[in-house]
Amino acid sequence: MPVAWLPVLLGLFLTGAADAARLDIELGRIEHAAFTAENVRVTLNLVQATGTLSIARFSALGRVWADLRLHCSEFAVAAASIECGRGTLTLPGSRETLDVQFAYDPDAGTARAQVRSAAGELVRAGLASSGEFRAVLSDVAIGRFAEVMPQLAEWQAQGRLNAQIDYRPDPSARITASGRLHGGGFSSADGLQAAEGLGIEFDVRGMFREGGWDWGGRLAWGEGEAYLHPIYLAAGPVLEAEGRLQGDRLTLGNAKLALEGVDAIEARGDFELDPLRVRRAAISVGGADLGRIGPDFIAPVLAPARAATLRFAGTVGGAAAFVEDRLVGLDLSFDDAAVAMDDVDVGFGPLNGRLPWRADSPTDIDIAVGGGHWQQLTLGAFALAARVEGLSIEVPRLAVPVLDGRLILGDLALRRIAAGWTGRGNATIEPVSMALLAEAVGLPPMSGVLSASLPGLRVDPGELALDGTLVVSVFDGYLRATNLRWLEPFGVASHLFVDVEARSLDLTQLTDAFAFGSITGRLDADVRGLELARWRPVRFAAELRSSPGRYPRRISQRAVQNIGALGGPGAAMAIQRGFLGFFETFGYSEIGLSCVLRDGVCAMDGIPGARPGTPGDGFVIVRGGGIPALNVIGYNRRVDWDELLERLQRVIATNVPPVIE
């Protein structure tokens, strides 16, 4: 861009004889590539060698200042130059004055100036006859630039700038600026975008070509911290970028961000600046260490509520594409990645594979999962193959090995809505050995298998429902669970509803497994409306009774004592103790016990319709039969559930022979 000084001398006149010591010079309009000054007037006091420069209107960098006034205590006008020493510049609308010195040679087209504030800020500038311009800024508050960049005031920008700015007009206009911002900071009104203590070194350049600026530069963030909602960042990143600015259109040709924990981050894009809009943009991330970037960048964005409990490992790479402010494509690749949620004790990994996503067309996910765990259960390797379209995902079949069986999810179709995920599918559990399952979850050894056919799997925000049946073949009988509903599965109110039906359980195996003494016989049970909160029963209506049919029915001394012990001191069983001391086992004809748990209290009853034949409000739990026979009668109809569990655990844990009085 050609630079031309065009001082136009509009008038030069001496005032009247009485004011012969005063000289008014009207310079009119001065134009430069960087600024325009209008109605420039110089008033000289020839006796005192002082002068005053006033500018009615000064335009630069798109802004206008009116009524600038500079008084020079030492003013000299030579044949070819004007010099101002010990000048004081008064800015309109401000009480602040700035110390100014300058020298200007209109013929040569050269100038030099120095401006210093009371706070120690210093700007030195020089203009060469070639049109080259240099400014050196020392500790200049960036708030000074709010006049030309109103955003600085909106963002409460702080900091001081040390920089050198060079402008060269020929052959093409070039600007370079390098320096350092220190003590920098900014904040949005709500504090969600903010930085403090910033120290940034910069080196930028621009060249004017064909109506726009080719630009490039480097920013190295060496000090300070920032919060760019929802991500907290500490100093360290270095940005190198180049592109073109033409009018309001900014092209980012290539940008590279160096960030600890990531091999490479690159971006390109095309933006409109007023208002800010992404026309097209792409960003790629290569070799990101999930252990480093997961807690800082992924967890706060994807799951802020669980950020403290999420654990990451492995490597991820990816690319994202944006068109018209919209994410249109995303490609992620995982290399031995792993993720775990500590609070619910779930984890998967290593994960290897690709996750592509397009806003307007379906894509296929193919990820190999090396394994996982859910609480104490170890999950085997499986492949996740799914089709993704928009915010929907379809999984035709997912087979997850669980011990020696498999959990198979089929025809799973999920869709993301504002409140969460919703969808349908089905689930099957291929037989899992109860021996292995019991060992894995720390239950006593038991034989049998667990399997399930759940044709109606339904997912809604805060709810997982399973229509169908889960069957556990155990203790030579079976347990059947139906109407499974898991509510708020990952929240503090995680609770599970299920109806359980048990049939023909072999009591010998059952009581042996739990070291409860020995009962020979078979048991049926119905537990309706069982509600488990964090895997602890909080509500149910349970009924246990002897299975119908003919089979040996004996109960050991220890089992009788343990049943009695469960009632607690105030709920002693009415045991025919005289008999108890003589025999190891006793015959019985029927066992029956019911418990309705509400609000931490178990309302108990015994065999329906059985009368204890003793005074008080007793209920028959074991009705004797055969020889020798005994009845076990309960008297405490309301038992604190936690206390009952504690006693049961104690009975099983102590596992000592009962003392018969």
Partner 1 sequence: MNAPKQIRAALGAVLMCFALFAAAQGDLEINTPAIAAIKQSMQARHAQLGPLFASGAIGLSRDGNVAVRDASGVPLAQRAQVNALISSENADRAALYREIARANGRPDWESDVRATFAQRWIDRAPAGWWVQRNGGWSQK
Give the H/E segment covering residue 239: strand 238-246
Question: DSSP secondary structure string, 566-635?
Answer: HT-GGG-----HHHHTT-SEEEEEEEEEEEEEETTEEEEE-STT----SSSS-EEEEEE-SSSB--EEE-
| Shortest distance in whole angstroms from residue 495 CB to partner 1 | 5
| Shortest distance in whole angstroms from residue 194 CB to partner 1 | 6
Say whether the peptide bond before residue 275 is cis (omega within 30 degrees of 0): yes
Question: DSSP secondary structure string, 441-483?
Answer: HTPPP--EEEEEEEEEEEEETTEEEEEEEEEEEETTEEEEEEE
Considering the complex, state which of residue 310 and residue 449 has its C-beta at the smaller distance from partner 1. Answer: 310
Structure tokens at 577: 């103790």
* Contact indicator for 644, 602 with CB cutoff of 8 Å: yes
Count of beta carbons in the 10 Å neighbourhood of residue 315: 19
| Shortest distance in whole angstroms from residue 262 CB to partner 1 | 19
Q: Where are the beta strands (DSSP E) in 78-121?
A: 82-90, 97-105, 110-116
| Shortest distance in whole angstroms from residue 640 CB to partner 1 | 15
Tell me the sheet residues that pair with 335. 315
| Shortest distance in whole angstroms from residue 392 CB to partner 1 | 22
* Contact indicator for 628, 583 with CB cutoff of 8 Å: yes
Tell me the sheet residues that pair with 197. none
DSSP 660: P
| Shortest distance in whole angstroms from residue 537 CB to partner 1 | 10
Task: Measure the CA–CA gap between 619 and 634, rounded to whole angstroms.
Answer: 5
| Shortest distance in whole angstroms from residue 304 CB to partner 1 | 4
Considering the complex, state which of residue 226 and residue 620 has its C-beta at the smaller distance from partner 1. Answer: 226
Considering the complex, state which of residue 230 and residue 608 has its C-beta at the smaller distance from partner 1. Answer: 230
Binding site for partner 1 (CB under 8 A): 187, 189-192, 194-196, 225-227, 229-232, 300, 304-305, 307-308, 419, 461-462, 487-488, 491-493, 495, 531, 533-534, 538-539
| Shortest distance in whole angstroms from residue 551 CB to partner 1 | 38
Considering the complex, state which of residue 519 and residue 597 has its C-beta at the smaller distance from partner 1. Answer: 597
| Shortest distance in whole angstroms from residue 193 CB to partner 1 | 10
| Shortest distance in whole angstroms from residue 493 CB to partner 1 | 4
Contacts (Cβ under 8 Å, ≥6 apart) of 346:
340, 372, 373, 374, 375
Question: DSSP secondary structure string, 48-77?
Answer: TTEEEEEEEEEEETTEEEEEEEEEEEEEEE
Considering the complex, state which of residue 226 and residue 591 has its C-beta at the smaller distance from partner 1. Answer: 226
Count of beta carbons in the 10 Å neighbourhood of residue 224: 20
Question: DSSP secondary structure string, 117-166?
Answer: -TTS-EEEEEE-TTS-EEEEEEEEEGGGGGGT-HHHHHTT-EEEEEEEEE
Task: Measure the CA–CA gap between 71 and 50, rounded to whole angstroms.
Answer: 8
Question: DSSP secondary structure string, 313-357?
Answer: EEEEEEEEEEETTEEEEEEEEEEEEEEEETTTTEEEEEEEEEEEE
| Shortest distance in whole angstroms from residue 198 CB to partner 1 | 11
Task: Give the CA angle between residues 446, 449, 454 to the nearest 5°.
Answer: 140
| Shortest distance in whole angstroms from residue 359 CB to partner 1 | 26
- Torsions phi, psi of 480, nearest 5? -125, 120
Considering the complex, state which of residue 304 and residue 552 has its C-beta at the smaller distance from partner 1. Answer: 304
Report in angstroms the alpha-carbon separations of 571 from 314, 373, 567.
Answer: 58, 43, 5
* Contact indicator for 552, 519 with CB cutoff of 8 Å: no
Considering the complex, state which of residue 160 and residue 495 has its C-beta at the smaller distance from partner 1. Answer: 495
| Shortest distance in whole angstroms from residue 461 CB to partner 1 | 7
Contacts (Cβ under 8 Å, ≥6 apart) of 624:
576, 586, 587, 588, 589, 630, 631
Considering the complex, state which of residue 193 and residue 589 has its C-beta at the smaller distance from partner 1. Answer: 193
